[in-house]
Amino acid sequence: MAAAKTRSSSFSGNLSSAASSLGPGLKCGPNGTVLLSSGIPDLDKILGGGFPLGSLVMVMEDAEAPHHMLLLRNFMSQGLVHSQPLLYASPARDPRGFLGTLPSPAASKDDKSRGPEPDQEKGLRIAWQYKKYFGENQLNFDGQRDGKHKYSNEFNLRNPLERHFINGQRVDCFSIQDSPDLSILQDRCTTFLSQLPRNDGSISCAGRIAIQSFCAPQCVYSNMEWEMLSFIRSLKNMVQSSNSVAIITFPPSLLSPSFCKRWQHMADTLLSVKAIQDDDKELAQLLTGYQDMIGFLNVHKVARINTQVPVILEATTFSIKLQKRRYLILECLNQAPVDGSSGTSYGTSGSCSSSSKTGNLDF
């Protein structure tokens, strides 16, 4: 579990007054930003606490796997649990139906224990992948700070979110499939964000915008590339001056390469998900825990707000696993023990990709 190393600068803002007046689900981040949780505690840790308010998150989908939906589900559920207003746009006919698949927070009783197996030997053990064990100490500290609202929840993907979270809220869903152009989406976003202006005072609540599969081919506007780019730029500007986070997922294979690059540059935080091939013997040999993985998550860019200092992560590729088939966890990739007799050396790890299908695995 890689944590971002944040360097404390000699200029530190006066944070003490701001901390007390934050609404539920918000916390102070570095450089005077306010963070909200992505709904996946591991992702929050990787990104240095969560998504900063006013940032645009973009997720590059893989056409072969629906993992971006997992990210969206957790993001939206987290917002609803914290009573944060939500705007959801999708190319499906009935976006409200998606709300029925949102996961509910895991009860704190059956908190998953991620430590090593209970039957440890008391004697000396050789920790093959020793970095796995460092994270255990941190887990205890980030526990519940205030009893009422946890900053981020574990979501149980098997249990649907209770109705009352969805019904009593400012939840706005609509379909973008039939809109001839992006003006409707633009208007909806403007109205939504006008409710969440950024003042210097306290932040009582923050909003979330989730746009799924933005350039899906069934949308009428999907071949209007410049219009889509202008929409993203205007959304980014609106979000920057409001207390909200917007997440847009899109399939990059359906865009021309130059536009794909432009969209990637628009993002403050850029993630991508990748599918895993079933029964890939090479990958099974290269990585431990291959059987439990359902996909890869790559972190390409981490938001840099109010600072020039880049966030350099220890690792940028993580495996997506479903623990106990319920909880979404992200793990660093661990190379499997190399078989000494075969004579291959550590030179095959790292940037060398053993098969072109996996692309670049960054340990």
Partner 1 sequence: MAKSICIALREGALEGELAPALTIKDSIASPFGLQVFDHVLSQLFSSILAGKSPSQGLILVSFSRSPSFYLELLKNKGINVASSDKRIHILDCYNDPLGWKDQIVEISSTVTVFREVKHMDKLFNSIIELGRGLVGGGKIRFSIAIDSVDEMLRRASVSSVARLLSNLRSHEQISSIFWLLHSDLHKARVTAVLEYLSSMVASLEPSHQLANGQRGDLENFALIKHNSKKGKFHVRFKKRNGRVHVMSEEVHMEQSGINFTPLTSEGAINQGLVPKVQFNLQLSEKERIDKANVVLPFEHQGDNGKPLQIYDGRRSLVDSKHERAVAVENVQTKEESESESESDMQRGEIIYYRDSDDEMPDSDEDPDDDLDI
Among the candidate windows 46-54, 125-133, 153-161, 349-357, which touches partner 1 by CB under 8 A?
A: 349-357
Closest distance to partner 1 from the beta carbon of 321 (Å): 11
Select from 3, 4, 65, 284 the one that contacts partner 1 (CB under 8 A): 65
Q: Within its chain, how far is the Cα of 61 from the centroid? A: 12
Closest distance to partner 1 from the beta carbon of 274 (Å): 10
Closest distance to partner 1 from the beta carbon of 216 (Å): 8
Nearest to 167 by CA among 96, 104, 90: 96
When asked if residue 163 is in the footprint of partner 1 (CB under 8 A), the reply is no
Output phi, psi for 132, to 5 deg. -60, -35
Measured distance CA(57)–CA(302) in Å, rounded: 9
278-297 mask for partner 1 (x: CB under 8 A)? Answer: xx--x-----------xx--
Select from 113, 138, 204, 218 the one that contacts partner 1 (CB under 8 A): 218
Among the candidate windows 137-145, 164-172, 183-191, 345-353, which touches partner 1 by CB under 8 A?
A: 345-353
When asked if residue 254 is in the footprint of partner 1 (CB under 8 A), the reply is yes
Instruction: Return the exposure string of 226-254: e unless at least 16 CB atoms fall within 10 Å of the residue's CB, then b.
Output: eebeebbeebbebbbebbbbbbbbbbbeb
SS3 240: helix
When asked if residue 220 is in the footprint of partner 1 (CB under 8 A), the reply is yes
In the complex with partner 1, which residue's Cβ is closer, 186 or 353? Answer: 353
Measured distance CA(148)–CA(153) in Å, rounded: 12
Other C-beta atoms lying within 10 Å of the C-beta of residue 19: 11
Select from 53, 209, 251, 303 the one that contacts partner 1 (CB under 8 A): 251
Measured distance CA(274)–CA(344) in Å, rounded: 27
Q: Which two tokens stand for residue 244?
A: 């909200």
Measured distance CA(13)–CA(305) in Å, rounded: 14
Output phi, psi for 130, to 5 deg. -70, -25
Closest distance to partner 1 from the beta carbon of 356 (Å): 8
Closest distance to partner 1 from the beta carbon of 189 (Å): 22
Select from 93, 158, 163, 233 the one that contacts partner 1 (CB under 8 A): 93
**Binding region for partner 1 (CB under 8 A):** 63-67, 91-93, 177, 216-220, 222-223, 251, 253-254, 256, 275-279, 282, 294-295, 344, 348, 351-355
